[in-house]
Structure 1
Amino acid sequence: MDNILEVKNLAVSFQTFFGEVEAVRNISFNVERGKTLAIVGESGCGKSVTANSIIQLLPKPPALYKNGEVIFNGEDLLKKSEKEMTSIRGNNISMVFQDPMTSLNPTMKVGNQIVEGVRKHKKISRDEGKKLAIEMLKTVSVPQPEKRVNQYPHEFSGGMRQRVMIAIAMASKPELLIADEPTTALDVTVQAQILDLMKKLKDEMNTSIILITHDLGVVADIADEIVVMYAGQIIEKGKLNDIYYNTKHPYTRKLLASVPKLNMDKNEELHSIEGSPPDLYMPPKGCSFYDRCDNAMVICEEHMPEFADHGNGHCSCCWLNHPQCSKNREEAL
């Protein structure tokens, strides 16, 4: 197995006036070269903090990297200086942010923004830069790229701005692309187009992808592996089919149940997960999902379960999967 990225026991906190917020709590996962890993979970579960931590985009302070390693091509990124990280960001690792309208510079033509990052790492002429910008706009299927390259972000639709963001990220042909909720503000049709585009670029450039999303329905056709996060921790991870068809954690099951289905009755209500995630100023000592779980036991409140190995890289963090669990696990799960 050729891993381009290995995250080991990563713990990230934020120092605030009220105390320390433990946003990410000792998580570990790998990204295989040329594969797509999806990190899913509710808002506030630590997905974006994890993504930004990989390339050290969190300001220090208030962010505090308490523990862990982020191994990229054999080197720990958390030990690198800001100057060293600048040579990696936008070159070896690129990122697509949630809102393209706030990420794009409204005063710069999109062509200049596409080549801006490339110019930081490579010497290219003005003509070469314009040619590259037009080529990237063609690659992400923006119509009339020769005209569009001289336009400003406000002249693009939301979907087209997201394509420009992907063009910026892919212009330097990175080895790893981190996409943080790239389809959140888009309608369903445009979402599908953006995901198809990402799949196409991954296959053509052999780029590995980390896709951050709260919607398990979005990742069904693009992810090779899935990591499910809750309250700053990984509670289940595995291959796509294992997560969808051999679900082992009650939270993952509830996330799947909340995805709308084509065969739903018109009067049927969408499933929702009752309750709220725990306050990470004072994380619970037991399972973080205890208060919202239909199968909670006394031990869940007092002790954090260890990961249970289900084979093929599939594992989950739930007492229901413990071999000495007294409940009927088949009924519970």
Structure 2
Amino acid sequence: MKRKRILFTGGGTAGHVIVNLALIPVFQEKGWEIDYIGSKNGIEKDLVQQLEGVTYHAVSTGKLRRYMSKENLKDPFKVLKGTMQSCNIIRKRKPSVIFSKGGFVSVPVMIASKLLRVPAVIHESDYTPGLANKIAIPFSRKVLATFEETLRYLPEKKAEYVGAVIRKELFSGEKAKGLAFAGLEGKRPVLLVMGGSGGSEKINSAIREGLDRLLETYEIIHICGKGKMAPEFDCPGYRQFEYVQDELKDIFAATDYVLSRAGSNAIFEFLALRIPMLLVPLGLNASRGDQIVNAKSFAEKRYARVLDEDQLTTETLAEELEQLKEYGPIMVDQMRQTNASDSLQKVVSIIENTSK
């Protein structure tokens, strides 16, 4: 009997890859063949190529720029080239179904899926759909939503609420291993600082400028982004990393509080792991505002506190972290009322039922 094959796509940021990373092992256990279409130099290539049993294919892709650039004139041709490349890959690999996590690399893949009549499922993590998914939705069979409120922005006949898909391995972290990896003693509460897969200069600066004060209360693990390390700030109780992957589950297990951007996948992971969070969403000057809406939704449900980026200083950061510490137990009680354990299996079932 011929084994079924699934083709994943999505990239540009870690948030457009993480759900795929959660699903790939499940389909491998079920005996499916796995392909992945991503960009030539995106973060998805680094994250996916190291996986055993997954064939990675790079295609040309456009890019969303929120500023004037001559590169914007080239993007339609890049998407056209990427669509032709995707068609060739799909013809050769013959997937039974395509699963798209979004990002602009997914657009040519989704167009190709429609041209070749291969059923495709889209996953939208944010409160409101991103531009790439908006473009791709007409080419899909199903659109899955992480926020129940997102359904109002999606085609009724295609949309389905599934909740957050959380990587299974995150629940198997060990606190002692996380502390040892970071070189911390665990004598004070551990504050994890994350600025998204690319890091945040503004969050990094606020943490480092207020380091002496913060270290009186916390031990700090700072995932600061590629090329954003600052060795001159190294000191006992403060540990920096550009990026962490395999050891992240142990770092999460060692974490008491988290300061983070408000990307959907990350904040739902903190929610599932019951970690009180202070969110600094990416502002409108650098995004479409999706993180602002994500953060507002979590604050309304008392899962998080929110500090606007334009109000972020060493002083406001210290004050908000004190509030986070005070209200942390209330947040954890609210978080215990949620259950994301069924979401992954629900998505798997939808994909299986959609496949040809």
**Length-normalised TM-score, structure 2:** 0.26
**Length-normalised TM-score, structure 1:** 0.27
Greater share of helix residues, 1 or 2?
A: 2
Greater share of strand residues, 1 or 2?
A: 1
